[in-house]
Structure 1
Amino acid sequence: MSVAVKLQPEELRVEVVEGRDGFVQLEKAWNAALGAGPHDEPMLRHEWMRAYIENFAPGATLRTFVARAGREIAAAVPLIETRERSADTCFVPMTTWALPVNDHSQRGGLLLGRGWQAGLDLIWERLQQEAGWDRLRLRDLPGGAPDWRLRELAEKAGHPCGLWVSLRSPYLALPKKYADVEAALEGKFRQNLRRRKRRLAELGQVKYELTEGDEALADFFDIEASGWKGRDGTAIAQRPELVGFYTQIARDAAKRKALALGILRLKDKPIAAHLSVVHAQRHYLIKIGYDESLHEHSPGQQLVSEAIRDSCERGLREFDFLGPCMDWKLDWESELRTHTWLTIFRPTQKGRLVHAARFTAWPVLRALFKKEH
């Protein structure tokens, strides 16, 4: 005879995982929590953050605050420590704990799984108890994201918070048919796009293909470095840490069949390429490059056209251009997603002083200077 036993749910607890090796061990539970939570994006996956840590901050002090019940993660906040005395700190020495996010991350955020609200509340309580930080920095949080609960918790506890709008990224809600995308375009741009497509085809066979592998990635790096980025020394191929970061996120995406590495070829020669990830029914356009010698044919926009067409055919719901607002992106869509830096200061004399100077006095002085000049 069997007896039914009612199991009690495990208590939610917070632990601080120190260093890279401890962070690596979280991968399986991390990604499972992300998929079950309210804010599932590729740049919040464990592999993406690991690529950042290993390429941009390999020797930095890393602490990951994890709220979990048993093996299941409810919320997690990885923070990298930096010490600085710069214009950003009003030349006051400060220790910052920040998310592993920079311009190449495209978007920031916290790991939020099931029961994330209770988990985030516990993490915030633990952060307040931790010594050693003067401010917390969360870069590029998208507007409306549940991650903003952390600001509510901080302000309720009397911590000064500073906000700075960093990006307004265009995004396109996708219809079922690409023809509907073209029909919604501004007339002049639509006509130019079609005319340049015909003229490009007059030079030879034009083919768009989605591929993967290191050889295709090398083609992308070469194309991206062939233009002004190569001349300015800012191309991916010119910086080992960028090669490492983008190679890692591309390989990881390929493993889970999420990589969309698109190449536009003219007579089999690559003339434009994009590095993208398809995740949760969205196309994320991470990087794009094209052969500037063919600029009169707009190979970059021809490439984007094909990528959007492919996204419609896949039944995706959104094409996210990511990054800053630029004219070529606005040709396709004027809807913008605002991203903001959230900086939380410890309510000490130093913290309040820098917050007031950085987020009150400085903007006022800058506005007055612009008005007078």
Structure 2
Amino acid sequence: MTVHPAFPVDGLAPAAPIAVRVVDPLALSPPLAAAWDALAAEASEPNPFVERWCLQSALHLLDPERHARLVMVQGGADGPLIGVMPLAAAARYGPLPLRHVTGWAHPNHFHGAPLVRAGTESLFWSILLGWCDAAPWARTMLHVPRLTADGPLHRALTDVARGRGGDAAVVHREERALLDSALSPADYWDAAVRGKKRKELRRQANRLAEQGAVAFRRWAADDAIEPWIDAFLDLEARGWKGRAGSALASHGDTEAWFRAIVAGAAAAGKLDMRALDLDGRPLAMLVNFLCVPGGFSFKTAFDEDYARFSPGVLLQQANLDLLGDARIAWIDSCAAPGHPMIDSVWRERRALVWTNVPLGGAGDRFRFNALKRAERLWHRWKRAGPDSIEDQDQP
């Protein structure tokens, strides 16, 4: 544990030291586990992938080599948690042999924001970066993937980096589908989906009803969760992801993690799971995590034998009833940019940025600035072509 000097923080005693801890996720004390859970309700930006019910099992099951460090910033030994973030030392930055610190993630970790207590964003980044400055394993920079562009955490990181005499360089940007509207579900559907497409979907729904009894189901808190998990894993594995070996059930570790987090989300009151059934058999299913004031549409699957009826889109139409939930202001699709299905239904977009911030040592700043120049040249080369760059470099 590293202890830093006191900082004025709302809710903390004026003289309380700020402690940075690297915690074993499998050896959490009950008070620390409870504090982590409580932090999620007070977070500046919700992120289910860093909540305890999701991240704890990910670190256990998806990081067998124990590369990640579960870092917690706390107001003194017994004070409230200020922030939680998984970090890892990386030996390469893309194709470059460049040692640095990165926000740890796995392929199903769709948002990179740490959990940070609202109002302490700048304090969190200041302490975390100062701690990395002193850590013998940390080099060059902190790389933070998938921050909400211009959100409270991104703005605070930018301000803190400038205050340290550096900058927060955005090195990549993506946009993905977002549901964020004051319209009713019916009005949103009419506004978002063109009339010809709506007519075709009504025809498909009618043809599907001719095949048997069609029903929409939503998991309820008194339902057993295991049958829902089993059904989703089976449905996904029978599709293209199963054939490609990328379905959750294709690997024991990802299946075990999925089972753990869906059960954990249910226990935490954050699971929203839905199905479109034909004669009691699911044709499409989806998993949402509702983390007030937002939500995350984590996974979806459909039966490809019934693709001509667009069961996934029909289920997404029913999913629009989330617009009527007063607790939920927006839903992040967690989808790839340009996803052909969800982009045609959800019209808003969420921008995410991958951000680099230099550490404080002279060698760190030198390597960081060299990397910035190399990335600038690379982007110029991509935009203008190699001949243009060579011409500009001539004396």
TM-score category (smaller protein)? 0.7 to 0.9
| Aligned with residue 204 of structure 1, among 204, 212, 218 | 212
Q: Which amino acid aligns with 2:377?
A: A
Gaps of 5+ in 2: 1-11, 389-395
Distance in 1, matches of 2:318 and 2:145, equals: 31
Q: Which amino acid aligns with 2:347?
A: S
CA contact (8 A) 2:46 2:294 kept: no
Distance in 1, matches of 2:181 and 2:366, equals: 50
Residue 336 of structure 1 corresponds to 349
Distance in 1, matches of 2:112 and 2:44, equals: 14
Q: 1:127 to 1:22 in 2, by over 3 A?
A: farther
Q: 1:166 to 1:104 in 2, by over 3 A?
A: farther
Superposed displacement of residue 125, structure 1: 2.5
Does residue 1:52 correspond to 2:52, yes or no? no
Does residue 1:262 correspond to 2:274, yes or no? yes
Distance in 1, matches of 2:63 and 2:297, equals: 24
**Which stretch of structure 1 is more off in the superposition, 209-218 or 16-25?**
16-25
CA contact (8 A) 1:24 1:50 kept: no
Q: Secondary structure at the match of 2:351?
A: strand
| Aligned with residue 152 of structure 1, among 156, 159, 163 | 159
Q: 1:230 to 1:367 in 2, by over 3 A?
A: same
Distance in 2, matches of 1:362 and 1:124, equals: 27
| Aligned with residue 41 of structure 2, among 30, 35, 43 | 35
Residue 125 of structure 2 corresponds to 120
Residue 363 of structure 1 corresponds to 379
Q: Secondary structure at the match of 1:247?
A: helix
Superposed displacement of residue 64, structure 1: 0.9
Distance in 2, matches of 1:371 and 1:104, equals: 40
TM-score, scaled to structure 2: 0.82
- Provide, for residues 122-151 of structure 1, a one-character-per-residue CA deviation record: whole Å limited to 9, x for no partner: 333332232322232211111122212123
CA contact (8 A) 1:163 1:341 kept: yes
- Provide, for residues 36-58 of structure 1, a one-character-per-residue CA deviation record: whole Å limited to 9, x for no partner: 23223322312222232122213
- Provide, for residues 222-278 of structure 1, a one-character-per-residue CA deviation record: whole Å limited to 9, x for no partner: 111222112211111102222122222211111022212211111111111112112
Q: Secondary structure at the match of 2:126?
A: helix
TM-score, scaled to structure 1: 0.87
Q: CA RMSD in A?
A: 2.6
Distance in 2, matches of 1:133 and 1:173, equals: 39
Q: Secondary structure at the match of 2:178?
A: strand
CA contact (8 A) 2:23 2:71 kept: yes
- Provide, for residues 159-188 of structure 1, a one-character-per-residue CA deviation record: whole Å limited to 9, x for no partner: 464423353121122446322222213222
Distance in 2, matches of 1:127 and 1:120, equals: 10
Q: 1:168 to 1:176 in 2, by over 3 A?
A: closer
CA contact (8 A) 1:52 1:101 kept: no
Superposed displacement of residue 281, structure 1: 4.5
- Provide, for residues 175-202 of structure 1, a one-character-per-residue CA deviation record: whole Å limited to 9, x for no partner: 4632222221322222222221111111
Gaps of 5+ in 1: 1-6
Q: Secondary structure at the match of 2:170?
A: strand
CA contact (8 A) 1:48 1:249 kept: yes
CA contact (8 A) 1:290 1:300 kept: yes
Q: Which amino acid aligns with 1:72?
A: P
Q: Secondary structure at the match of 2:45?
A: coil
- How many residues are paired up? 360
| Aligned with residue 194 of structure 1, among 202, 206, 210 | 202
Distance in 2, matches of 1:253 and 1:21, equals: 18
- Provide, for residues 101-128 of structure 1, a one-character-per-residue CA deviation record: whole Å limited to 9, x for no partner: 2341111112211541334323333322
Residue 354 of structure 1 corresponds to 371
Residue 230 of structure 1 corresponds to 242
**Which stretch of structure 1 is more off in the superposition, 193-202 or 109-118?**
109-118
Q: Secondary structure at the match of 2:25?
A: helix
Q: 1:370 to 1:166 in 2, by over 3 A?
A: farther
- Provide, for residues 55-107 of structure 1, a one-character-per-residue CA deviation record: whole Å limited to 9, x for no partner: 221322515141314421123333122333x6x152x2x33322232341111
Distance in 1, matches of 2:249 and 2:26, equals: 28
Distance in 2, matches of 1:224 and 1:288, equals: 8
Structure-to-structure mapping, 1:94-105, within 5 angstroms: 94-105=98-109
Q: 1:356 to 1:239 in 2, by over 3 A?
A: farther
| Aligned with residue 132 of structure 1, among 127, 130, 137 | 137
Residue 81 of structure 1 corresponds to 89
Q: Which amino acid aligns with 2:22?
A: V
Distance in 1, matches of 2:145 and 2:200, equals: 37
CA contact (8 A) 1:17 1:23 kept: no
Q: 1:47 to 1:141 in 2, by over 3 A?
A: same
CA contact (8 A) 1:27 1:47 kept: no
Does residue 1:243 correspond to 2:255, yes or no? yes
Distance in 2, matches of 1:172 and 1:249, equals: 23
- Provide, for residues 285-335 of structure 1, a one-character-per-residue CA deviation record: whole Å limited to 9, x for no partner: 1111111111111011011112223x2454443333222231211222321
Distance in 2, matches of 1:283 and 1:205, equals: 30
Q: 1:61 to 1:335 in 2, by over 3 A?
A: closer
Distance in 2, matches of 1:275 and 1:95, equals: 37
Q: Which amino acid aligns with 1:305?
A: Q
Q: Secondary structure at the match of 2:350?
A: strand
Q: 1:237 to 1:332 in 2, by over 3 A?
A: same
